Amino acid sequence: MLNFDEQRFLRIQSGAAGLAKRFDEVITSCLAAGAENVFFLGTGGAAILMQPAHQLLQRSSRFPAFIDLTAELSITGSANLTKNSIVVMPSLSGTTKESVALLSKIKEIGATVLTLVGHQETPLGKGGDHVFVNFAEDDTSCESFYLQSLFIALSIMNHRGEIANYDHLIGELQKLPRLLIDVKRAYEDKAEDFAHILAGSDYHIITGAGNVWAEAFYYGMCILEEMQWIRTRPVHASDFFHGTLELVEKGVSVILFKGEDACRPLAERLENFAPAYTDKVTVLDTAAFDLPGISPEVRSLISPILLATVLERISAHLEVIRSHPLTTRRYYKRVAY
């Protein structure tokens, strides 16, 4: 596979999978101590990657779950953020400015903070009440953060008696690291073709529904815009028909991500509409990926992870095709802002 280190990927994702037991122990202690809600408070891309776990709790659990923007929350605060809150703060670098600033305010409130970081010796790596360290880099962080946040959500639901097969679900999730490599390998040839489609337009409408919406949002903003300077319009598939559809005409690229959760019909509605009005509709469907031993229930939970793992392959080809390394920036962490 192009510019890909299989052992490095396996080590990173196995590291994330290996945190399941400790997450469960920490969540158990938090709930026993009287935790009343959970906040997912990341910044930028890390915040987006928390959305599927938040959505799972919001729709399948009665345990109150919140997600907010760290920069805004530092200014406004929240009546729901109390000493009885569990706060999940992901930051690959462990140094994200907005997250570090909010952490100090959360500590004053007295909430229990779980930090998910790639580096221990950082403000967030040292500042959490419970610190979960799993080294990763930009090309491997999505799967790791998706998996870690999913463990948190499933643990909360399990201890509240809201799922009956927790151990079985965790057992299947533990198989993912090696299976994801097989998915990457099987998709490699198609990845180059997809990359040519992305390189062929300077503007893309990117859309999805359910738990894969987060990956559509993330890939448009954090990869195509930040790392490739390609203009995108990420829009949820349900919102597409309330404005963005008017931008669709011949030559406009529509990229659709399809997952396997209950919201798949929303993606299918868009898939049926767009080809009648543009000749550039590209669909990336997780149902096409072979995952031996993984049940439909787990597949529905990990659709964002599957998309992330093949999109990494697409990005690897895209940077070569466009002669634009993914590490190139003009402003991000290079100028004052």
Q: What are the tens digits of pLDDT across the range 103-139?
A: 999 999 999 999 999 999 999 999 999 999 999 999 9
pLDDT of 251 over the 90 cut: yes
Q: What are phi and psi of 106, to 5 degrees?
A: -65, -35
pLDDT of 24 over the 90 cut: yes
CATH number 3.40.50.10490 is the correct assignment for the domain at 177-321: yes
Which residues contact residue 130 at a Cβ distance below 8 angstroms, ignoring those fewer than 6 apart? 26, 112, 113, 114, 115
Calculate mean pLDDT across residues 286-297: 98
Contact 16, 148 (CB under 8 A): yes
Residue in this structure with the two tokens 């109150």, named with its chain if needed: 64
CATH topology of domain 6-173: Rossmann fold (3.40.50)
Give the CA count within 13 Å in the CB-facing half-sphere of 5. 10
Q: What helix, strand, coil percent values describe the chain, rounded to 5?
A: 55, 15, 30
CA gap 125, 119 in Å, rounded:
6
Q: Delimit the domains of the chain by residue range.
A: 6-173, 177-321
> Reduced to 3 states, what is the DSSP secondary structure of residue 334?
coil
Calculate mean pLDDT across residues 294-315: 98
Q: What token pair was written down for 57?
A: 């709790």
How far is CA 176 from each of CA 54, 172, 258, 295, rounded to the nearest angstrom? 21, 7, 19, 12
Q: What are the tens digits of pLDDT across the range 66-113?
A: 999 999 999 999 999 999 999 999 999 999 999 999 999 999 999 999
CA gap 22, 53 in Å, rounded:
17
Tell me the percentage of the chain whose pLDDT exceeds 70: 100
pLDDT of 337 over the 90 cut: no
Give the CA count within 13 Å in the CB-facing half-sphere of 167. 0
Give residue 3's pLDDT band: very low, low, confident or very high (50, 70, 90): very high
DSSP 201-268: -SEEEEEE-GGGHHHHHHIIIIIIITTT--EEEEEETTTGGGTGGGG--TT-EEEEEE-SSTTHHHHH
Task: Tell me if 6-173 shares its fold with 177-321.
Answer: yes
